[in-house]
């Protein structure tokens, strides 16, 4: 997850002082005195994008990458793995190679697939570079169902001298009126290292047909703005927005975004979970009730320094951190569900939050459709909310991973099952962590299972983390994917999947499916990004144009170190 203004990294010339300037001579958030960055050093845990906004690249580790692929035994099948990026794009105009793309999101519609990622080339590139290489969010496009990808560089942004895309991408697909659209959201912050913090997205449309189709993307559309700003001397200081994710409701022609708002209130570490809505047009792909179209969404977001469209949950009275917001829309009813983690990071040594009275939890909130009008401010908030206490792994040191992991939930709605489900990391059964799932009844959020379901099998004391789930298939079943290590004695990392989970069942399928054709040894990778393999993985079921809007192919995206440099890979089932 990269963020806002990204600082250049690398060793200074002999005898010289390394400057704090970043892209186009701009400073990092920490160098600019951004108060959010000061708190990030003490209690808050935030995204990779936020880390990069504040502190720039962790250092130039350029050199000859070592091969890090670990073959599996012969006869051990996996779907074809495809690198969605190109090494040729990872070089700045002056000839400096960047190392690493990570933190991925994926979506597909028909034969078209888009994967997005954090791109380390941003650290070394000025505004106006070819292929928008200065942007921290890169993306690739496939016109053949994910068999091959074209690396399209960074998201288009004509305002790059003032604002930059900073990673934490989320991708959603939408088909309407015989056309195919993709939306790619990201952090979007001032190049001054201070000032208004935003969430933005590019709306992209597939042009042409078949294997010759291309992807044409517009300019940034603002989804969220800082809710509080103040002027200190001559510097504008604002709340920092982080960890965006988006979801499309194709039945109601809407897009929802959820994110975290880190406030500027002194001596407080609590955070808000907010959301916004965009009008995508009408059923024919024309202008919608708020004036939006699929190619030009009309987003009901707040003006800088004002209340958000929708506050899912305010900062807690105990000042414990809320983070990792993740939305899921119910196309049958129009309701919005948002999951997030309560007490991330503040559960380690921050007295108000390191107590039995403030257990670390993954929380699920429901917002009914009547609370979600296409106006500047939602008329009401969450009508139901439930928290699931967890045993966190956010203090775990994972070999080869250059940051602590998180326990952020992922959420999916299944109308055939009448459920909304969360998946997350949890160490309650094994010290190094498992992937758990629990479902709740749509509407009431009453738990379906008496206890969370163990998804990863067999565990045998291994490490399983960063799960993903996005949507139910046409029959209502869920597909969950995650990073997995068989043993604590290895950094060899695979991606596994549990396919066809009944959301109401008390047990997951007995056998998991390996997605990676080779394991990657995370100890043998060089990266300019922290975290080097991102904070999340992703999967998504292909979008169709008819109810229930999902097809039969599951697309999986993850950061992979098999080349010695983290890359954004993709695979799909069926192959």
pLDDT in tens, the chain (575 residues): 333 333 333 332 233 333 333 443 367 888 788 888 877 766 677 887 888 888 887 754 444 445 588 889 887 889 999 999 999 999 999 999 999 999 999 999 999 999 999 999 999 999 999 999 999 999 999 999 999 999 999 999 999 999 999 999 999 999 999 999 999 999 999 998 888 999 999 999 999 998 899 999 999 999 999 999 999 888 888 999 999 999 999 999 999 999 999 998 655 668 999 999 999 999 999 999 999 999 999 999 999 999 999 999 998 888 899 999 999 999 999 999 999 999 998 998 788 899 999 999 999 999 999 999 999 999 899 999 999 999 999 999 999 999 889 999 999 999 999 999 999 999 999 999 999 999 999 989 999 999 999 999 866 678 999 999 999 999 999 999 999 998 888 899 999 999 999 999 999 888 889 999 999 999 999 999 989 999 999 999 999 999 999 999 999 999 999 999 999 999 999 85
Identify the three-state secondary structure at position 224. strand
Do 3 and 22 contact (CB within 8 A), yes or no? no
6 part of a folded domain: no
Report the largest interatomic distance among the alpha carbons of the chain, rounded to a whole angstrom: 67
Distance between CA 71 and CA 325 in Å, rounded? 36
Do 152 and 206 contact (CB within 8 A), yes or no? no
18 part of a folded domain: no
Do 402 and 530 contact (CB within 8 A), yes or no? yes
Per-position b or e across 241-264, b if 16+ CB within 10 A of its CB? bbbbbbbbbbbbbbbbbbbbbbbb
Pick the closest to residue 438 from 484, 497, 480 (CA basis).
Answer: 480
Do 532 and 39 contact (CB within 8 A), yes or no? no
Distance between CA 546 and CA 295 in Å, rounded? 20
- Main-chain dihedrals φ then ψ at residue 117, nearest 5 degrees: -160, 165
Tell me what pLDDT residue 575 has. 59
Type and span of the H or E element at 38: helix 35-40
248 part of a folded domain: yes
| Structural domain count, the chain | 1
Tell me what pLDDT residue 16 has. 33
**Domain interval for residue 329:** 23-573
Distance between CA 326 and CA 168 in Å, rounded? 12
120 part of a folded domain: yes
319 part of a folded domain: yes
Angle at CA 246, nearest 5°, toward 552 and 452? 70
Tell me what pLDDT residue 39 has. 76
3 part of a folded domain: no
**Total H helices, total E strands in the chain:** 2, 35
Type and span of the H or E element at 36: helix 35-40
Distance between CA 261 and CA 274 in Å, rounded? 7
C-alpha dihedral (572, 573, 574, 575), degrees to nearest 10 = 40
Alpha carbon separation from 562 to 84, 96, 462, 483, 568 (Å, rounded): 14, 22, 20, 14, 11
Distance between CA 175 and CA 267 in Å, rounded? 47
Do 221 and 241 contact (CB within 8 A), yes or no? no
Tell me what pLDDT residue 327 has. 98
421 part of a folded domain: yes
Type and span of the H or E element at 569: strand 567-573
Tell me what pLDDT residue 404 has. 86
Tell me what pLDDT residue 269 has. 67
Per-position b or e across 391-422, b if 16+ CB within 10 A of its CB? bbbbebebebbebbbbbbbbbbbbbebbbbbb
Beta-carbon contacts of 13 under 8 Å, excluding residues fewer than 6 positions away, are: none
Tell me what pLDDT residue 52 has. 81
152 part of a folded domain: yes
């Amino acid at each position: 997850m990269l963020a806002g203004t990204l600082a250049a990294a690398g060793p200074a010339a002999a005898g010289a002082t390394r400057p704090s300037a970043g892209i186009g001579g701009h400073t990092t958030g920490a160098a600019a005195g951004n108060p959010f960055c000061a708190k990030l050093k003490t209690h808050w845990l935030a995204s990779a994008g936020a880390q990069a906004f504040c502190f720039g690249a962790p250092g130039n580790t350029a050199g000859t990458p070592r091969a890090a692929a670990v073959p599996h035994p012969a006869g051990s099948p996996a779907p074809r793995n495809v690198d969605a990026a190109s090494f040729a794009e990872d070089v700045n105009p002056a000839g400096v190679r960047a190392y690493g793309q990570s933190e991925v999101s994926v979506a597909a519609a028909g034969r078209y697939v888009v994967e997005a990622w954090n791109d380390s080339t941003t650290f070394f590139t000025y505004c106006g570079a070819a292929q928008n290489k200065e942007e921290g969010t890169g993306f690739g496009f496939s016109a053949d169902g994910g068999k091959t990808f074209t690396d399209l560089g960074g998201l288009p942004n004509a305002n790059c001298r003032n604002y930059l895309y900073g990673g934490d991408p989320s991708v959603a697909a939408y088909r309407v009126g015989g056309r195919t659209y993709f939306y790619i959201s990201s952090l979007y912050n001032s190049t001054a290292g201070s000032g208004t913090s935003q969430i933005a997205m590019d709306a992209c449309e597939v042009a042409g047909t078949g294997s010759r189709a291309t992807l044409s993307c517009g300019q940034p559309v603002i989804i969220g703005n800082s809710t509080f700003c103040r002027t200190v001397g001559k510097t504008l200081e604002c709340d920092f927005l982080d960890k965006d994710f988006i979801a499309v409701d194709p039945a109601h022609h809407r897009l929802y975004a959820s994110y975290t708002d880190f406030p500027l209130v002194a001596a407080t570490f609590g955070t808000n979970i907010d959301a916004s809505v965009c009008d995508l047009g009408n059923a024919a792909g024309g202008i919608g009730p708020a004036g939006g179209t699929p190619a030009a969404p009309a987003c009901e977001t707040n003006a800088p320094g004002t209340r958000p469209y929708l506050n899912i949950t305010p900062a807690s009275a105990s000042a414990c951190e809320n983070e990792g917001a993740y939305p899921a829309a119910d196309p049958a009813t129009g309701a919005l569900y948002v999951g997030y983690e309560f007490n991330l990071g503040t559960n380690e040594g921050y007295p108000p939050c390191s107590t039995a009275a403030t257990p670390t939890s993954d929380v699920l909130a429901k917002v009914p459709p009547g609370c979600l009008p296409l106006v500047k401010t939602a008329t009401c908030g969450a009508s139901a909310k439930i928290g699931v206490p967890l045993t966190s792994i956010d203090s775990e040191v994972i070999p080869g991973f250059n940051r602590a992991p998180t326990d952020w939930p992922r959420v999916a709605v299944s109308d055939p099952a009448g459920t909304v489900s969360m998946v997350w990391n949890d160490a309650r059964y094994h010290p190094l962590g498992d992937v758990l799932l629990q479902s709740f009844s749509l509407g009431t959020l009453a738990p379906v299972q008496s206890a969370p379901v163990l998804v990863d099998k067999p565990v045998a004391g291994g490490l399983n983390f960063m799960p993903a789930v996005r949507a139910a298939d046409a029959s209502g079943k869920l597909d969950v994917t995650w990073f997995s290590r068989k043993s604590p004695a290895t950094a060899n990392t695979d991606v596994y999947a549990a396919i066809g989970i009944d959301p109401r069942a008390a047990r997951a399928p007995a056998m998991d499916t390996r997605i990676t054709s080779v394991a990657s040894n995370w100890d043998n990778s060089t990266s300019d990004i922290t975290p080097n393999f991102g904070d999340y993985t992703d999967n998504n079921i292909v979008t169709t144009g008819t109810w229930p809007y999902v097809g039969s192919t599951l697309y999986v995206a993850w950061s992979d170190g098999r080349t010695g440099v983290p890359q954004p890979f993709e695979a799909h089932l069926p192959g």
